[in-house]
Amino acid sequence: MTIHKEGYKTIAITALVLALLNLVVFKFLCCCCAVCWIFAVISLFLWLFIISFFRIPNRKYTIDENLVIAPCDGKVVVIEETIDEEYFKGKVLQVSIFMSPANVHVNRNPVTGEVVYNQYHKGKYLVAWHPKSSTENERHSIVIRKGNKEILVKQIAGALAKRIMNYTKVGQQVKQTEEMGFIKFGSRVDLLLPIGTKINAQMNEVVKGGVSVIATL
C-alpha cells in the first residue's frame, strides 16, 4: 500500500493541528491524565483514518478491451436508462457508484481510448446518493472514445467532498485502470454508457476500482 500524492498536504496539516491540540490539552488538563490520554488516542485514530483515506492498495487490475471496469471503489446505487443533456443529448444507460469516506478515492479510467470531452461544472453539494446530485452538484465530466463507442465518466462532489481532481485533457490517450483523478471525501462517480450495453454489475454490489467489471462493450 502507498499514499496518494493528493494526501501529503492534508496528512501533514492534520498531524500538525492534532499535535498542537494535544499540547494544549496536556498543558491545561494535566490534573486529569485519563482525559488527556483518551484525547491522544482519539487523535491518533483520526490521523490514521485520514491516512487510510488516501491509501492506494496493492491490486491486480483487470485489463480487457471488451470490458468497462469500475472507475472507483464503492457501492452501485443506480442502474437505469436516463436522458443525458450534457453531451449525448439522448438516452443512455447510467451506472452510479457511491463512495463513502472509508473507500479508496482514486478514480481510474474504465476503458482505453481518447479523451474527446473534458468539462468542469460548478454546482451544489447535495448528498452523493441524492438523485439530482448527478446534474446539480459540482462535477467534472470526461468522455472517452473507444472505437465507435463513447463513455462519459462523471466525478461528482458530495456533501463532504469539495475538491475534485481530474488529470485528463482533450486529445489525451488514456489507458484502462490508470489514474483519471481523485475526489476528497464522500462522493460519487457516474458512468454513462451507450444504450444496448450489457451491464454486468448488480444493484448494491460493492465494487473495486480498476478491478470489478461494470459492463461489456
Question: What confidence category does residue 27 fall into, taking pLDDT thresholds of 50, 70 and 90?
Answer: confident
Residues 43-65 have a mean pLDDT of 88
pLDDT higher than 80, residue 41: yes
Catalytic residue among 96, 133, 141, 187: 187
**What is the CB neighbour count within 10 angstroms for residue 37?**
12
Whether the predicted model's global pTM rises above the 0.75 cut:
yes
pLDDT higher than 60, residue 46: yes
Q: Is 187 a catalytic residue?
A: yes
Beta bridge partners of 120: 140
pLDDT higher than 80, residue 94: yes
Question: What confidence category does residue 31 fall into, taking pLDDT thresholds of 50, 70 and 90?
Answer: low
Rounded to an integer, what distance in angstroms lies between the CA atom of residue 28 and that of residue 31?
A: 8
What crossing angle do the helices spanning 33-53 and 8-28 adopt, rounded to 10°?
A: 180
**What is the CB neighbour count within 10 angstroms for residue 19?**
12
